[in-house]
Structure formats: C-alpha cells, structure tokens
Amino acid sequence: MYKKVHTISYILFKYGNFSKPFLNLMLEEKLPKEWYYYFVAQRYKWSQDYELALQYVEKALKLSKDNLTLYYILLSDKVNFLRFLKDKNAEFILEDIRKNFSKIPILARKIIAPILYDYYLKRSYEGRSAKIRFWSKEYLKDPSTYVFILWNRANMEVMENNIRSAIRLYFEGAKTALKIPHPTGILSNLNNASWYLKDIHPCFSLNISKKACYYLGCFREDMEGRFYILDTLFEIQKIVRDEDIWETAEIICLLYDDLPEKGGWGTKEHYKSLFEFCNTKRINFDISSYENTKELREYLINIGKDKKLYELSDILGISKPNLSKILKGWTFKVRSETIRNILERIDLKVDYMNDPYPIVNEYVKLKIIMEFLQNKEKLKKISKEKRKILFISTYMSLIKRNDYKGNFNLKELYSLFINDIDLFIQKAEKNMFIMWFTNKIIGKSHPLLEGRKDLAVKFFNILPLKKRDKFINYYLNLNEKDRILIDEFIRNYVRYDRKWGVSFSKGMLKNFIQEFRLKPLPTLLSVYSLDKKSERKRLVNNLDKIVL
C-alpha cells in the first residue's frame, strides 16, 4: 500500500489535475488516516477551496511526523495554501524547509523545490535575499519540477520587464510540459506567451493562443476552469481582426454559465463584461429580417459615399425606390437576403467588432454557405467508413448540444450522411446549422472543438470495424444525458491511454473491454475521471448494455 500511495502522490504532482482519476480511485481504497486526509486535501486544492484543503492538511500533519516523505509533502501543500490565503506564516515555514532541505526525502524534495524557488526568486526581486542557489541539480532532471521552475523564472522576467526572455522560458516550459504531459503547464505557458506576444507579433500570438485552445479541448473536460484561455484568444482575435472570432464569442457564451457566481478572478463576476459583449455579438442563424436602424442606414450610405442614389442602387443591387425607402427609414425591416445580396455584390472586409450586427451576422452566414459549396463536393469523395467516424466525432465535439437540438434529428441525419449523401446535401442546403455542422465535419473547427474531435477520431479508429458500428448505433439511440457521459468516456479513454507505472485490481467492465478490445487501465481511469459515484454508475451501466 505504501508503495502505491507514494507512486500516486508523485503522479498527482507530475500530472496535476490531469491525474484526477487516480485521486478518485485512491479515495475508495482503505488508507491510513494521514494519507486519506492528504488525498482529500488534493481534491479541495483542485477546486480552489484552500481553507478546507488546509484543514485536512493540518489533520494529516498531526499523524505523519514519523513519515518524513508525507510530512514534507504536506508541509509544501500547507505553504501553498497559506500563500493563496495571504498568510505570512508561509514565510517562516519556507525558511525552516530551506534549512532542512538536505534531510528531506527525494520525492518530497522534487515537490518542494519549485515552491522554494518561486519564493526566493520573489524575495531576491524585492531585494530581501540574494539570488537563489540550489543545493543539487538532481531535481532539475524531473520534468514536472522543471516546468514549475521555468514558469517561475518566466514570471520573474516579466516583472523585470524582460519580455523576450520570459517568452523564451514560457515556450521551453510548454515544450517540457507537453512531453509529460502536464496540462496546466502546457496551457499556462502557451497562454502567457501568446499574451505577451500579442502587441509584438500579433499573428504569431494568435497561432500560439489557438494552440492553447486546442490543448484545452484535448486535456480538459471542465473547460470553464481555464476560461482565461478563451479570454486571451478573443483579445488577440480582436487585434488581428480574425474572422473566426464569432466562434470564440459563441463558446464564451456557452461556457459562461458554468463559471462560479462570485469570488473575483475566474468567476462570472470577473468575466461579466466579456460575456455581455459577446452575447450582443452572438451569431443567429435563424434571423430572417432586421430592424432598419440608423447605424445600418449610415453604413449603407457610407458604402456609396459621394455617389448618387441611382449609382448606389446599382452597386447594392437594390431598386432605386426600395433603396430610398431603406435609407430614409420608411422601411422598418430589412430582409436578411437583401443584406446578403449586398455582401455578395461588393467585396467588403467586414469588421466583427464595429460593423452593424445585421452586416456581421449575414457575412458569417454567407461565409458558411460559400464554405459549404466547396465542402459538398469533397463529401462525395470520402469513404463511408471515414464518414461514420467524422460525423459522430464532430457531433461529440460540440458543447451544450441542447442549444442545437431543434435543428436536426441526429439518427436521421447520420443515416442520410452515411447512406444517401446527395439527399443529405439537399437537406443541408435548406438549413444553416446543418451547413455549419457539415463544414466542421469536413474542414477545420474552432481549435477547442478540434481538440475534442481528434480524441473521438482516435478512439473510433482503434475499434474493430464491426464493433464500431455496434457502438455508434447504440450511442445514437441514447438520450442526450447518456450521450454526454459516453462522450466524456471516449475522450478520457484516449487521454489516459498511456503508461502510468501503477495498476488497480478493480474488475469492472470486463465484457465491454473484451468486446471492443480496449485496455483495462485507461477504461478504468476514464470511468473514474467522473467525480460523482452516481455518474460513474450510470456510465458503467450504459457501457455494460452495449455488449448485451
């Protein structure tokens, strides 16, 4: 047992929140009280409830003075929680740890080293101590420790206004974190690099920010917990006037409801103005007409400034009498087709941030239509088996699908997509949402959705051909609540399909694993990535039913 808890405690440090299934599994084991308290504290740490986490650390510390490894791991946690709570006692504990560093067992030393490094870096920056010197470079060979060291050094370079040095360190940190993988290290380093690059090299910054969004989709189910990634991307897209900014705005609106209500940074309160702005700019596929506002009239007049009415009529493709009524405000509504026809006739660079909403909304719809016209020919060249994987994987990548349920019947649309592509295209041409969805199947999606989609594609590619059909058909007949559980299972199976150096004896889902030729450990970890026992039970019941 002690060997396993040591291994798991290192896994928690090495992979951070990504190792959540191991934590959930350990909390079901029969553990000594001190280890149980330690693991409970980790759960509260990840939910950022530092006061409650500190209470459990204190309980564990009282029971672990004979176990130096656990004692110092707990002490490092205590320091972190005190610092988050702005308690100055953290400094006294850190000073004591520094004096006894050589006596600390190696596992605990790896975990403590970056905390000490960060603390003394800040002290040296404030002029309260000399530059930190490490007692040994051994811990630098540990990638997770090194990621934290690089992160702290980069942040210090930012404080000293050495932005180029900081960016180099962020990139090195992201590269190291990717090899582990340590999702928090990947996301934080890429996000900070893109943020500090945005005013120097905005286009390069945009690419880095999109990578961060891709990895957010790859590694995190609770994407709202890293909402700042989307915030950064949106800010950079504003700078470069990226035409895909509307999709980021849509995702921001969809995930905003999942944020905590209040409490400062990372909450609804913090992101309220961002949400409200995105919500006013949200694209609506179903609008057929718009209010003829003064803003819209001035925009149309500006297109043909210095031109006479009949000349502007020719440019816009609107009859002179009708155009006159629109520009004078005598027509209260302007049809969406009218605006789209205008956009088709003139080559306009539409500004998502500043142009009238009807112009932006119809421009996005026009782009979707044009992209679909290109993609519908590509569809016919894709094999039936590949179409199956792409369709279902794209569907699984979507967020808050209940918002879209009125747009199509999933089973019916899947059947057409696989068995009658011409009829599918005819149906799509009459439905803007299906056109948009088809474009996501064939082309690139938003990077966050693309990360989720790639995981599903990998999963279906490892299933035997006949078993794949059985799995998909079962999935199509589920209700949306159960589909969401299956989606998470699939993504997490691929995420956790790697060597962990530890095993568990739980014998769940044996028939399911054998039927679909899956591996036991990633299957188990995928189930235990769900925090609620009721959800795990529901998921297991669904997976068992597939093989009946």
Contact 471, 463 (CB under 8 A): yes
Q: What is the rounded CA–CA span in Å between residue 13 and residue 21?
A: 13
**Nearest CA among 236, 191, 232, 231 for reference residue 212:** 191
Q: What is the rounded CA–CA span in Å between residue 301 and residue 324?
A: 11
Handedness of CA 81, 75, 226, 126 (dihedral sign): positive
- Tell the residue number behind the tokens 């945005």, with chain if given: 198
pLDDT at position 347, please? 79
pLDDT at position 109, please? 86
Written as six digits, the tokens of 530 are 């769900």
Q: What is the rounded CA–CA span in Å between residue 384 and residue 392?
A: 13
Amino acid at site 320 = K
* DSSP assignment letter at 383: -
List the CATH code of the domain at 142-281: 1.25.40.10
Q: What is the rounded CA–CA span in Å between residue 281 and residue 353?
A: 8
Query: pLDDT tens digits, the chain, 548 residues: what are they?
Result: 567 888 999 999 999 999 999 999 999 999 999 999 999 999 999 988 999 999 999 999 999 989 999 999 999 999 989 988 989 898 889 888 888 888 889 888 888 888 777 777 766 655 554 455 554 565 567 898 899 889 989 998 998 999 999 999 999 999 999 999 999 999 999 999 999 999 999 999 999 999 999 999 999 999 999 999 999 999 999 999 999 999 999 999 999 999 998 777 889 999 999 999 999 999 999 999 999 999 999 998 888 777 788 888 888 888 899 989 999 999 999 999 999 988 988 878 899 999 999 999 999 999 999 999 999 999 989 999 999 999 999 999 999 998 776 677 999 999 999 999 999 999 999 999 999 999 999 988 999 999 999 999 999 999 999 999 999 999 999 999 999 999 999 999 999 999 999 989 888 999 999 999 999 999 999 999 999 999 999 999 999 999 98
Q: What is the rounded CA–CA span in Å between residue 249 and residue 269?
A: 17
60 Cβ neighbours under 8 A, 6+ residues apart? 33, 34, 35, 37, 38, 41, 70, 74
**Nearest CA among 405, 357, 437, 402 for reference residue 254:** 402
Written as six digits, the tokens of 407 are 């747009």
Written as six digits, the tokens of 545 are 């039913």
307: left (phi over 0), alpha (psi -120 to 50) or beta: beta
Q: What is the rounded CA–CA span in Å between residue 343 and residue 48?
A: 49
pLDDT at position 135, please? 47
Amino acid at site 91 = E
CATH topology identical between 1-120 and 289-364: no
CA 124 to chain centre: 35
The residue extents of the domains of the chain are: 1-120, 142-281, 289-364, 383-546
pLDDT at position 126, please? 58
Residue-wise DSSP of 330-367: ---EEEHHHHHHHHHHS-----TTTS-HHHHHHHHHHH
Contact 316, 300 (CB under 8 A): yes
pTM score of the predicted model:
0.93
List the CATH code of the domain at 289-364: 1.10.260
Three-class DSSP category at 290: strand
> Among 1.25.40, 1.10.357, 1.10.150, 1.10.287, what is the CATH number of 1-120?
1.25.40
Q: What is the rounded CA–CA span in Å between residue 366 and residue 432?
A: 10
Count CA atoms within 13 Å of residue 210 on its CB side. 16
Q: What residues pair up with 333 in beta bridges, in sequence order?
A: 291
